[in-house]
Structure 1
Amino acid sequence: MDIRFVDVTVGNVWSSPEKPRDLDAPSLFRPADIKEWLSRLDGDEKGRIDLVGRLETQVLYGEPVWIVGERNGWAEIRVPEQYSHKDESGYPGWIPLEQLTFHPDYHQAWQTEPLAYVTVPFTRLRLEGSESEQSLGFMSKLPWLGEVDGEAIVLTPRGTVGRLPAEDITVARTLPTAGGEVRVATAKRFLGLPYLWGGTSAYGFDCSGLMYRVFESAGIRIPRDAGDQARFGKRVTKEELRPGDLVFFAYNEGKGEIHHVGMYVGEGNFLHSPRTGHPVRIDRLSEENYAREFCLARRYQGNETF
């Protein structure tokens, strides 16, 4: 397998090269116009709903992927940072080849240098020697080279130098583990954000994508999908719930396949990204539908092995 790095703000990972529709075109090039793509989705009655079975997950600028095959300008990839039972080497899917790049300096720096983690919903990356800027979202991360005049100096996937507002990042090789209250506060920053099937970025999350990124920001690695997230961590009862724990819901009145996940925020409430047309919000576990489908809860505290 050959390693490459994501060279667009958000890269959509599809189930096959045939799955994108005409209205998905703005997301398929470099640069990817995610705002225009979302606008097109919202202008189509089934734009977001029909992403089910098409969009698998998303990757962020600078993140690594493994290429396991190529076809007609597409790369078959595995996302090593997103654990999935589907493939032991990482979440599987397809992405346009032009949205990936490789530079030996970046590859080396990614392995050895501290990383600048974006900790705000969005910030701006300014490339040195250019007037162009690029939007970067929550949990994008790039090798950190230093700080000058309140700006973080970072290395980009193409081996060029860029600058980010230092106040928008946290510098660490690995982010320190944060407790449940911190995770809750982070998740609340996305209240009102529209649901996006397959979403793992601040442009839109699905239920497990939101949990994945919030836990990542707290220095805790969890799997990508709800079903996998429910397999690890410490199982706790509803009575033992603490803020920051994950709560899971399943079909067949909680006895079937797990289909949803949220984060307990205290006092019988949980935060989640429900479904298309319903943005990130807080609901009560005692509400009829959720009480009926609640199946288990998990507590992740770091250092999990998958």
Structure 2
Amino acid sequence: MINQTFDENEIWVVAVQVATVWTSKESTRRIDEPGLLNPTDMDHWVTKLTTEQKTALCDENRVQSQLLYGETVEVTLIDGDWAQVVIPTQPSNKDNRGYPGWVPLIQLEKVEKEYWDQSKSAAVISKKAWLEGDNGEKVMKLSYMTCLPVLGEHPRKIEVATPNGTRILPNEVVHIYETKAGLEKKNGTAIVEAGEQFMDLAYFWGGMSSFGYDCSGFSYATHKACGYQIPRDATEQAEAGEHVAYGDLLPGDLLFFAYEEGKGDLHHVGIYYGNGQMIHSRTNGKAVEITNIADTVYEKELCEMRRYWHE
């Protein structure tokens, strides 16, 4: 084991399209190999797993979260082929530095901080986008809300910094923003619209990408797209933000549900859609959908309502 010493001139970033954050080094299975390599093959992994195998990621406490290409982490320990990390961009009560877990070391890369700290960043705004090489060859399929430093802007392409050197993103698939300011803050309707494009996307436990979201990953990503950083997990999402009474709900507000008709453990979060409906990434074996609340189990289990957005 190697305890990390920190070089202020270097940072660790994710070097694959999506890096899954595991509970421990022993959490992976042979069937998870497409999500453990570099490069990863998320399309193959998420579609080939059976519903039972996906459910085991949760029930057997195997997966904690996920990271997107270029996302920065703090590496606290290296143990063989694995890195123990915390994720500053995913707030969590589990560690005040960020969400904790384990990532295959091969999926991380050190980069020079000066290279990475650019004044502008490019956020992928399409569901998925191909990162390209200099000659236009497709290098990697990126998830929605992958954010990379901008090195140059051209009429049809954006040069971005990556863990693998300078690459290209087509202009039409990204939104450029000032890095220090972050993505522009939008209203609740925009949060709903961010979620609508993922209708029928299959649920994936721990999912934080457009290859598959879990319920809180879905609310996290839609808020991120609209300029708001919220906690990673539903339990903590229900404790922050602003409380909203049921009669004052507006599209974009978060709805939380607990067992025992709202009195037990919190287990789900959805986004209020308007007209007594919510949009949510439902559960294993299901997908992102719009659901009526009245006369359903959700009406009985509704326990909290929170708002993070503002006009």
Could you tell me how far apart the structure 1 residues matched to 2:220 and 2:114 are?
26
User: After alignment, is 132-141 or 270-279 more displaced?
Assistant: 132-141
- Cα displacement (A) at 1:251: 1.4
**Per-residue CA shift, 1:21-58, capped at 9, x if unaligned?**
1100111110011112123313xx52111111111100
Partner of 2:302: 294
User: After alignment, is 45-54 or 178-187 more displaced?
Assistant: 45-54
Counterpart amino acid of residue 92 in structure 2: S
Q: Which residue, out of 96, 119, 124, partners 1:113?
A: 119
Could you tell me how far apart the structure 2 residues matched to 1:18 and 1:287 are?
43
User: After alignment, is 208-217 or 278-287 more displaced?
Assistant: 278-287
Partner of 1:151: 157
- Cα displacement (A) at 1:278: 1.0
Could you tell me how far apart the structure 1 residues matched to 2:152 and 2:23 are?
39
TM-score by length of 1: 0.94
Partner of 1:13: 21
2:280 is equivalent to residue 272 of structure 1: yes
Equivalenced residues, count: 297
Counterpart amino acid of residue 166 in structure 2: V
SS in 2 for 1:66: strand
SS in 2 for 1:12: strand
Which runs of structure 2 are paired with 1:20-31 in the superposition (5 Å)? 20-31=28-39
Could you tell me how far apart the structure 1 residues matched to 2:204 and 2:149 are?
28
Partner of 2:170: 165
User: After alignment, is 110-119 or 176-185 more displaced?
Assistant: 110-119
Partner of 1:65: 73
2:242 is equivalent to residue 237 of structure 1: no
Counterpart amino acid of residue 45 in structure 2: W
Which runs of structure 2 are paired with 1:1-306 in the superposition (5 Å)? 2=6, 3-42=11-50, 46-52=52-58, 53-104=61-112, 107-128=113-134, 131-158=137-164, 160-172=165-177, 173=179, 174-301=182-309
Could you tell me how far apart the structure 1 residues matched to 2:175 and 2:43 are?
26
Q: Contact conserved, 2:124 with 2:175, CA < 8 A, in 1?
A: yes
Q: Contact conserved, 1:118 with 1:139, CA < 8 A, in 2?
A: yes
Q: Contact conserved, 2:252 with 2:309, CA < 8 A, in 1?
A: no
SS in 2 for 1:192: coil
SS in 2 for 1:82: coil
Q: Contact conserved, 1:40 with 1:47, CA < 8 A, in 2?
A: no
- Cα displacement (A) at 1:130: 7.8
Q: Contact conserved, 2:35 with 2:41, CA < 8 A, in 1?
A: yes
Identical positions, percent: 39
Could you tell me how far apart the structure 2 residues matched to 1:255 and 1:96 are?
38
Could you tell me how far apart the structure 2 residues matched to 1:109 and 1:98 are?
21
Counterpart amino acid of residue 49 in structure 1: T
- Cα displacement (A) at 1:247: 0.4
- Cα displacement (A) at 1:148: 2.1
Could you tell me how far apart the structure 2 residues matched to 1:128 and 1:286 are?
53
Could you tell me how far apart the structure 1 residues matched to 2:90 and 2:301 are?
26
TM-score by length of 2: 0.92
**Per-residue CA shift, 1:80-135, capped at 9, x if unaligned?**
1000110000101000001000121xx32433421100011011111226845211
SS in 1 for 2:145: coil
Could you tell me how far apart the structure 2 residues matched to 1:216 and 1:287 are?
31
Q: Contact conserved, 1:126 with 1:164, CA < 8 A, in 2?
A: yes
Q: C-alpha root-mean-square deviation of aligned residues, in Å?
A: 1.4
132 and 273 in structure 1: CA distance in 2 versus 1, 3 angstrom threshold: closer
Could you tell me how far apart the structure 2 residues matched to 1:252 and 1:108 are?
52
